Amino acid sequence: MRQSRIVGRLFASTALISAAALASPALAQDADDSVTEGDVITVTGSRLQDANIEASSPVTTVDAELFDIRGTTDVVDLVNTLPSAFADQTTAFANGATGTSTVNLRGLGAIRTLVLANGKRLPPGSPLAGGYPSDINLIPSQLVERVEIVTGGASAVYGSDAIAGVANFILRDDFEGFEIDGLWGFNQSNNDSGLFEDALTAAGIDPIQGSTTDNDTFDISGIFGANLDSGRGNVTGYFRYLSNDGIQQGDRDFARCALAGGAEPFCLGSNQGPFPTTFVLSPTGEPGDFDPLVGADGNPILDGDGEVVTAGAFSLTESGGLTQGFNNAFNFNPDNPIRRRVERFNAGFSGHYDITDNITSYLDFGFTKSNSPQVIAPSAAFGNSINQVNCDNPLLTPEQLALICGTVDGDGNFSRATEDDDGVQFGQAEVRRRFVEGGGRTDDRTLTNFRVVGGFRGTLNDVIDWDIFGQYAETSLNRLQTRQVAAIELGRSLDIVEDEDGNFVCRSVVNGTDPACIAFQTAYDPNATNAPGLADYIDTPTLTQGSTQQTVVGGTAQTDLGNFGIASPFAEDGINFLVGFEYRRDQLIAQADATNQQGLLVGSGGAVLPTNGETEVYEGFFEAAIPVIQGVQGIEELGLTAAYRYSDYQSRDILNDVDGGDFGVHTYALGATWTPVSDIRIRGQYQRAVRAPNVFELFNPVNTNLSSLSDPCAGFAGTADAPTATAEQCARSGVSASQFGAIPPDSGQLNILTGGNTDLEPEVSDTYTVGVVYQPSQIGGLTLSVDYFDITVEEAIGTVPVATSLNGCIFDNNPTFCALINRGTDGSLTQVPRDQAAITATNVNIAGFATNGFDFTATYSYPLGQYGDLSFDYNATYLLSFDTTPLPGAGTFDCVGFYDSSCNDPTFDYRHNTVITWQSPYDVNLSMVWRTFSAIDRVDSIDSDTGEITPVDNDFVGTELDATHYFDLSATWEVNDTLTLRTGVNNVLDTDPPVVPQFGPSPTSNTEGNTVAGVYTAEGRFIFFGANVRF
């Protein structure tokens, strides 16, 4: 309570001062971006504010001009062009999306990247599972002055989460005048790859012919500002509205169907056909002597080789007959997006006012509302969702009845049926079907955020600079899902009988348990007609709500100890020293409706359980920049930097009134810079960083979800869907001799058990960087730099990749992995209840990561005389290794140059981003951006003991992803001091993304639309036109 009162008083005081200062605004025409005496100097990687301090860690800077060059509407799209950034949550994700956009530096995960705005941290992005990383959609792009990226540990300076690095968005806060900016753009694709026309045609799908345009994008924003009281203060406000229509996978030739890999790729889909239904029958009887499936004549069914069939899948034909196999696989791609629809509104203001010559108040407020009404493929009965059919169903043909219920004896008992308490016999058969009658599922997510930062800063006796602040942020989620199907209603609609009037109705209508039930007749008879209202009856809308709150109070005091006579005897400048404190509290609250809480939906993951937990941390820290030697021949300047932070963490499960962890951690950093001559600067740093478990990792309830993976042990022996592993291999994972060859084939989605863990400990990371910056005095405008980085993360919080667990157990006989696999009573990993048949993937401190490599930058500005100027900006990363140790005792594998379900997204050994701009003498600037991703191989196997990776050795589609190059062109024309026009084309060559079959042997978790979502550009060209007007 004491902290909340402090924060409230800070906000109230600052708000009153800023409000009082609003009198007598002085409007002007231009914003002055120059640095003047008294301005706050922000250098990411340090809280010390001194323009003379040389950073000992490398900082990559992205200027605001690049937003215009690329027509950027989503900040994350620009950040992800940096070679050090890996794809994470973006609008390119459909399944598994959180509705946020996040930064993932060095590929270590967005949870290990700290995001700041003007040096203050952003709050958690979403209360959804996986939503902790900050959402950079909160950043008003029109206010961005530059983005500074520091890669490597920085938690001694900024606190937890800064293991992979920091992304600091420096925003304009001293604007004068009025500026409005508008952009309209759209995507266009030639659809001329011709890669899969044969596969589409064979599947009865029309290939796309010719050009497609879509994803109309509108982005309008405004900035307005005024100085106050003869320049003693300023208020800057902004607003922004963004809307785009999205892109469906069905509108791109490479994504029009879900591809299965092989020598000749073909269109597949999940095993839930849309029309007609597929029945999956498991064997009955004794192992080795299973009962035969029989036809309408009572005789055993034979396969193509004349062998008796004891289990398998049988699909209905349009005439109502049956064919063996999954012959009606559903092509869900056209219904899923390549880029989600988004509508977003941002508004806010920042203000500061000099109360006295030595005290300044400041206040920032931001509001964001983002809506993403996503539509994906219709729901389906997956696996064991519905596993019985009533034998008195009047719609069953004699063939269907015999197949599902078996032969009947003189007493009317069916051989394959069981009897319930009311004497009704049910044949044991899975009913698999897409519910196309209801249309695509909708997932409408609305995220609302507000954030306020207020404080005072000043100077004491012209010697000590101080800053004290408080901030509060809250993000709320409203997630409405429709066209979902609940298992109870579906089961009732499939339990069909004939009433006394000869009508086919639900049994629950006859016995009165559910008079509203409507019979799902077309599930059994393709030529039947469902009664009106079926879609509405099985449609079960669900609502999930939640919020995150973050409170931060902190302060710093900085001084030049040279004022007190403390300095190196070999240096002119004194020691810069800063001391500070910070208190931070995060809370997560999430609540779902009864349907979600009970996990009653088919075609989705498990239950959504309530959550209410909090973490608190009290921190003290200091920093120092020490000039050791200055002005000596061979040592123009030698300086040291040091930082230390102590953090005391506490956590609590409020929902269950249980205390969590309580621990203290130390973080520190040591760095050095050496300038032997003015042209060369050498820098190096060591950082010990930590990441404390966040509120999501601690308190998310243990729950079941689905993972895109197939079980090598699933399938019926002697059929096209036979297991790909041997009986001996499958026994390692819990498959009995009687179950092997009798496990129903899965649909490419297995149950996994996920959730939090209150016993988690902090992650620990060590980062080493060393580099050199060369600015030759003989070549004006040229800067070259190279930096080596080495990051190791131990006790990493995470989950063992489910593919690693499954394959490591089955194929490598690793007992640690086998302990994570719990099969159902039928031997499957798809059985319902899902928590009784799943691969465990809950949070634990087990994993380890290590990555090292080189960053290269080169900038050059060359004057062309009367023809203007030419500038060149090159950023590249060459990755030497990216090692993953999934759990103690397991082999460490290096994913550089590979992708699969264990390495996940491609880990490129080389990436670059190059920008070339010609500033013509005619007020027109022309720019080209060249982005490169190196070639990638698919993993065939990983030895779980040694970690040795064996690449796939064939020329199938997706085996090797070729190096990919994208080119963007743009032009800006400064018509006059008021108006600037711009236009451009991103991916001007309409380069298609490398194809990764969705049903390949080992797709990544982000494989969507037959490519890796968010990594490669899948939308085609983006053509944009923009205008900026200043007053």
Amino acid 2: pLDDT? 37
CA distance 970 to 983: 6
Q: What is the mean pLDDT of residues 985-994?
A: 95
Rounded Cα distance between 841 and 699, Å, is 15
Task: Name the residue among 565, 692, 580, 717 with its Cα closest to residue 645.
Answer: 580
- The answer to whether 838 and 852 are in contact (CB under 8 A) is no
Instruction: Indicate the pairing of strand 749-754 with strand 838-840.
Output: parallel
Burial of 61 (0-12, 13-18, 19+ CB in 10 A): middle
SS3 for 352-403, per residue? EEECCCCEEEEEEEEEEEEEEEEEECCCECCHHHCCCEECCCCCCCHHHHHH
Query: Smallest Cα–Cα separation from 11: which of 549, 460, 552?
Result: 552
Distance between CA atoms of residues 664 and 762, nearest Å: 9
Instruction: Burial-class residue 1017 by CB neighbours within 10 Å (0-12, 13-18, 19+).
Output: buried
pLDDT band, very low/low/confident/very high, at 14 (cuts 50, 70, 90):
very low
**Quick one: which of 96, 101, 58 has its CA closest to 76?**
101
Sign, CA dihedral 501-506-509-512, equals positive
HSE of 148, CA atoms in CB hemisphere, 13 A? 18
- Rounded to an integer, the average pLDDT of 861-885 is 94
* Closest C-alpha to 879, from 851, 900, 912, 906: 851
| pLDDT of amino acid 91 | 73
Span 950-975, mean pLDDT? Answer: 93
Is pLDDT of 51 > 60? Answer: no
pLDDT at position 938 over 50: yes
pLDDT of residue 514: 97
Mean pLDDT calculated for residue range 221-239: 95
What is the C-alpha separation between 192 and 253, in angstroms, rounded?
Answer: 8
Q: 41 near 49, Cβ under 8 Å?
A: yes
Phi, psi of 642 (to 5 degrees): -145, 150
Task: Give the residue from 476, 449, 473 showing the smallest Cα distance to 120.
Answer: 473
Distance between CA atoms of 743 and 738, rounded to whole angstroms?
Answer: 10
The band of 10, judged by pLDDT with boundaries at 50, 70 and 90, is very low
Render pLDDT for 408-417 as a digit per residue (tens, 0 to 9): 998 999 999 9
529, 531, 533, 537 alpha-carbon torsion, rounded to 10°? -90
962-987 burial code (b ≥16 CB/10 A, e <16): eebebebebbbeeeeeeebebbbbbb
At residue 75, the 3 state secondary structure works out as: helix
What is the average pLDDT across 456-484?
95
pLDDT (0 to 100) of residue 221: 96
Q: How many CB atoms lie within 10 A of CB 26?
A: 12
**Which pLDDT score is estimated for 272?**
60
Q: pLDDT at residue 33 above 50? A: no
User: Is pLDDT above 70 for 19?
Assistant: no
Q: What's the chain's average pLDDT?
A: 88
Q: Which residue has the tokens 């000043």?
A: 458
Q: Please count the helices (runs of H) and the strands (runs of E) in the chain.
A: 14, 60
C-beta separation of 960 from 935 below 8 A: yes
Distance (Å, whole) CA 744 – CA 748: 12
Average pLDDT of 393-405? 96
The three-state secondary structure class of 804 is helix
| Rounded average pLDDT over 429-438 | 86
What pLDDT does 52 receive?
Answer: 56
Alpha helices in 666-777 (DSSP H): 695-699, 727-731
pLDDT tens digits, 784-839? 999 999 999 999 998 888 888 898 899 989 898 999 999 998 899 988 777 788 99
- 412 versus 320: the higher-pLDDT residue is 412
Q: What is the mean pLDDT of residues 259-270?
A: 79
pLDDT, tens digit, for every residue of 727-737? 999 999 999 98
Q: Which of 445-454, 615-624, 716-725 has the lowest mean pLDDT?
A: 716-725
**Diameter of the chain by CA atoms?**
109
Say how far apart CA 805 and CA 813 lie, in whole Å: 10
Q: Which of residues 1013 and 988 earns the better pLDDT score?
A: 988
Q: What is the DSSP letter of 434?
A: B
d(CA 398, CA 396): 6
- What pLDDT does residue 1025 have? 97
- The reply to whether omega before 398 is within 30° of 0 (cis) is no
Spatial CA neighbour of 446 closest among 543, 526, 513: 543
DSSP-derived secondary structure letter, 39: P
Residue 836 is given by DSSP the state: G
Mean pLDDT computed over 637-649:
96
Q: Residue 327: pLDDT band by 50, 70, 90 thresholds?
A: confident
Q: Are 718 and 311 in contact (CB under 8 A)?
A: no
Q: Return the pLDDT at 1005.
A: 75
Peptide bond before 274: cis, by omega within 30 degrees of 0? Answer: no
Whether residue 691 is predicted with pLDDT greater than 90 in this model: the reply is yes
Q: ∠ at Cα 695 (693, 698), nearest 5°?
A: 65
With beta carbons less than 8 A apart as the criterion, state whether 127 and 98 touch: no
pLDDT for the residue numbered 274: 55
Q: Name the least confident of 39-53, 523-537, 1005-1019.
A: 39-53
Pull the structure tokens for residue 371: 């809506």
Low-confidence winner among 323-332, 443-452, 1000-1009 (lowest mean pLDDT): 1000-1009
Please give the DSSP secondary-structure letter assigned to residue 159: -
Whether 605 shows a pLDDT value over 70: the answer reads no
- Indicate if the pLDDT at residue 718 is higher than 80: no
Task: Decide: 540 and 484 in contact? Cβ < 8 Å.
Answer: yes
What six digits make up the tokens of 709? 């993976």
In the numeric block, which tokens belong to residue 576? 């810069």
Residue 971 pLDDT more than 70? yes
Beta bridge partners, 285, equal 290
- What is the arithmetic mean of pLDDT over 601-624? 88
- pLDDT the model gives residue 50: 64
Where helices occur in 459-618 by DSSP H, the ranges are: 487-494, 507-510, 534-538, 594-597
Angle, CA of 561, 565 and 569, to the nearest 5°: 100
pLDDT band at 1001 (very low <50, low <70, confident <90, very high): low
Residue 36 predicted with pLDDT over 50: no
Confidence band for 220, pLDDT divided at 50, 70 and 90: very high
Strands (E), 600-634: 601-602, 611-632
Q: Which DSSP string do the residues of 235-291 spell out, in sequence order?
A: EEEEEEEEEE--EEGGGSGGGSS-EE-SSS-EE--BS--SSS-EEEE---EETTEEP
Retrieve residue 253's tokens: 């030739």
pLDDT-based confidence at 53, cuts 50/70/90?
A: low
Report for 39-43, 451-455, 460-464: range of highest mean pLDDT: 451-455
What average pLDDT score do residues 902-925 get?
94
Beta strands in 190-232 (DSSP E): 212-228
Give residue 152's pLDDT: 81
